[in-house]
């Protein structure tokens, strides 16, 4: 009698970083609905509801079974009255009227279209919408609008960029980047990150972290890489954002705050096989992000750029509330000790320290 029966109902954590989540989503019908509602809330700048829908979607993605009745929701965290109502609608009618309303909403459709252009954020999309525009053609035909260099590239390569990047394309880009970086610094570290590192089959871009084992040498990498890609004739667009890295600054509490590493947003021309006899261009424009952290921040940069966004958000929330620590893309800070995870010469060691401390963390697919 001294042995208790193991509980058959496992409690599900409210933190995405403590839930094992595979690529297999048994609740896509619900998570698709939440993604639309979250996006609409984002377009309306309703931060609270946006976060609530994203949290609910993240939670449902981690469940090993499909929700088939509202009884299945009992005891689950991250679900409020609003999100439960959506699930119940879908269970009963196969769809949710709120989601259908959003999909038919003129503002939602138009803002979604405009923000799908590389370089167009919410503010710009709203400005164009207020001008009464509903199509990209109308926007482009307006002589009064001054487009940024990024937006010009966004329109120019719109069809390619708005199509998903598949794993094979990401790997092909990876090979080009790897080979080119080797020519600049043979010992450089090139790591595919973002969604493809999590095992996703497709994504909207390809993300890379690049650094050198020797501190400080990384500052030359991106410019040289860009030069070489340009000489190969495959660089369609680039924008280098210089590092604003300040070691004395404290981490930001807000996840959305960008990190301070040097980075480059690029569009690369990837050769593709043509179907026999078809006349079409033999390349595809692919969005690529490069980030070049100094090697002693590499582990945290990698953790931060692997995503998903919800996983990262919850990692930070977990660190703050459960460990009284602050985590960002640069380091893990112990609020009680004032510093900062100790700097080590081997950055992988630094990350291992963190992971052994919080051994329950799992990457979220
Ligand atoms: N990231 C971050 N800070 C930012 C932007 C992104 O920490 N300001 C992180 C979280 C993301 C990851 O980097 O998951 C990569 O960003 P992407 O926008 O490329 O997202 P994904 O690669 O996850 O998705 P996609 O498949 O759409 O590219
Ligand atoms: Mg990505």
pLDDT at 349 over 50: no
Q: Is the C-beta atom of 203 inside 6 A of ligand 1? A: yes
Q: What is the pLDDT of residues 33-57, one digit of tens each?
A: 999 999 999 999 999 999 999 999 9
Q: Is the CB of 328 under 6 A from ligand 1?
A: no
Give the mean pLDDT of the chain.
Answer: 89
> Which contiguous run of DSSP H or E holds residue 290?
strand 283-292
Ligand 1, closest atom to CA 256? 8
3-state secondary structure of 72: helix
Is it the case that residue 342 has pLDDT exceeding 60? no
101 assigned binding-site residue: no
pLDDT at 277 over 90: no
Write down the pLDDT at residue 2.
52
What was the pLDDT predicted at 290?
A: 98
Residue 9 has pLDDT above 60, yes or no: no
**Is the shortest distance between the CB of 365 and ligand 1 below 6 Å?**
no
Residue 61 has pLDDT above 80, yes or no: yes
| For residue 214, pLDDT beyond 90 | yes
Pinpoint the alpha helices (H) of the chain: 28-43, 47-61, 81-93, 97-104, 106-115, 122-130, 136-141, 149-156, 158-162, 167-184, 194-197, 221-231, 298-306, 309-323, 347-357
Rounded to an integer, the average pLDDT of 236-243 is 96
Is the pLDDT at 143 greater than 70? The verdict is yes
CA nearest ligand 1 atom 1, residue: 305
Q: Which residue has the higher pLDDT, 336 or 188?
A: 188
Confidence (pLDDT) at 358 = 40
List all residues 6 or more positions away from 140 whose beta carbon is below 8 Å from its beta carbon: 155
Percent helix, strand, coil in the chain, to 5, is 45, 15, 40
CA distances from 9 to 6, 23, 67 (A): 9, 23, 15
Query: What pLDDT shows up at residue 252?
Result: 54
pLDDT of 348 reads 39
Distance 263 CA to ligand 1 centre (A): 13
Report the DSSP pairing between strands 262-271 and 165-166.
unpaired
pLDDT level of residue 359 (50, 70, 90 thresholds): very low
pLDDT band, very low/low/confident/very high, at 150 (cuts 50, 70, 90): very high
Among the ranges given (114-128, 221-235, 240-254), the one the predictor scored with the smallest mean pLDDT: 240-254
The alpha carbon of 337 and the centre of ligand 1 are apart by a number of angstroms equal to 31
- List, for residues 69-123, the tens digit of each pLDDT value: 999 999 999 999 999 999 999 999 999 999 999 999 999 999 999 999 999 999 9
205 known ligand binder? yes
**Percentage of the chain lying above the pLDDT 70 cut:** 86
Average pLDDT over residues 171-196: 98
Minimum-distance ligand 1 atom for the alpha carbon of 195: 22
**The pLDDT of residue 4:** 52
Question: Average pLDDT, stretch 177-189?
Answer: 97
- Position 253 pLDDT exceeds 70: no
Model pLDDT, residue 279: 73
Give the range among 77-81, 165-169, 280-284 with minimum mean pLDDT: 280-284
**Tens of pLDDT, residues 295-337:** 999 999 999 999 999 999 999 999 999 999 999 999 998 877 7
């Amino acid at each position: 009698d001294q042995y208790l029966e193991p509980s058959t109902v496992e409690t599900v954590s409210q933190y995405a970083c403590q839930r094992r989540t595979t690529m297999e989503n048994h609740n896509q019908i619900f998570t698709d609905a939440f993604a639309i509602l979250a996006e609409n809330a984002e377009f309306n700048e309703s931060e609270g509801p946006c976060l609530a829908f994203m949290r609910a979607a993240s939670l449902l993605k981690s469940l090993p079974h499909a929700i088939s009745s509202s009884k299945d929701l009992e005891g689950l965290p991250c679900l409020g009255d609003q999100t439960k109502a959506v699930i119940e609608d879908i269970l009963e009618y196969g769809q949710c009227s709120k989601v259908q309303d959003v999909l038919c909403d003129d503002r939602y459709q138009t803002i979604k279209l405009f923000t799908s252009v590389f370089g167009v954020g919410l503010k710009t999309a709203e400005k164009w919408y207020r001008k009464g525009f509903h199509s990209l053609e109308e926007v482009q035909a307006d002589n009064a609008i001054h487009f940024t260099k990024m937006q010009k590239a966004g329109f120019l390569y719109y069809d390619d960029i708005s199509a998903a990047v598949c794993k094979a394309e990401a790997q092909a880009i990876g090979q080009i980047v790897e080979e080119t970086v080797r020519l600049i610094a043979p010992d450089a570290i090139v790591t595919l990150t973002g969604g493809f590192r999590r095992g996703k089959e497709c994504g909207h871009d390809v993300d890379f972290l690049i650094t050198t084992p020797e501190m400080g040498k990384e500052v030359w990498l991106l410019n040289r890489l860009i030069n070489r890609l340009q000489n190969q004739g495959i660089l369609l667009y680039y924008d280098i954002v210089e590092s604003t890295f300040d070691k004395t600054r404290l981490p930001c509490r807000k996840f959305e705050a960008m990190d301070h590493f040097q980075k480059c947003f690029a569009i690369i021309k990837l050769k593709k096989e043509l179907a026999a006899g078809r006349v079409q261009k033999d390349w595809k424009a692919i969005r690529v992000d490069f980030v070049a952290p100094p090697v002693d921040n590499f582990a945290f940069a990698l953790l931060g750029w692997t995503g998903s966004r919800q996983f990262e958000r919850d990692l930070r929330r977990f660190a703050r509330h459960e460990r009284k620590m602050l985590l960002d893309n640069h380091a893990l800070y112990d609020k009680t000790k004032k510093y900062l995870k100790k700097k080590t010469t081997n950055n992988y060691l630094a990350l291992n320290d963190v992971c052994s401390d919080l051994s329950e963390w799992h990457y979220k697919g």
